[in-house]
């Protein structure tokens, strides 16, 4: 699986409002980014990491909070 595939799966999980899956995939993407050997791939990986940190992770956090609030409301 490529880094772009992982990124797309994270976006799909966010669209499907599945924060736990998105979190798992984001950790996997971070791990994959850390082991990129090639300089060019490293530049691409860096861009993906920036998007992960600035766009995707905040969205996952927002979904997680929404999910937690919804679960709390359901419990009442």
Residues 22-66 have pLDDT tens digits of 999 999 988 888 887 776 677 888 888 899 899 999 999 999 888
Residues 12-24 have pLDDT tens digits of 999 999 999 999 9
What is the average pLDDT across 69-73?
Answer: 66
Position 73 scores a pLDDT of 61
Q: pLDDT at residue 76 above 60?
A: no
CA distance 76 to 73: 6
Position 14 scores a pLDDT of 92
Q: How many residues does the chain have?
A: 76
Q: How far is CA 58 from CA 14, 17, 26, 38, 40, in A?
A: 11, 13, 11, 28, 27
Whole-model pTM over 0.85: no
């Amino acid at each position: 699986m490529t880094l772009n595939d992982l990124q797309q799966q994270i976006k799909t999980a966010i669209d499907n409002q599945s924060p736990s899956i998105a979190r798992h995939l984001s950790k996997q993407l971070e791990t994959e980014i850390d082991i990129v050997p090639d300089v060019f791939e490293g530049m691409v990986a860096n861009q993906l990491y920036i998007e992960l940190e600035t766009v995707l992770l905040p969205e996952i956090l927002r979904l997680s909070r929404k999910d937690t609030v919804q679960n709390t409301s359901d419990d009442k």
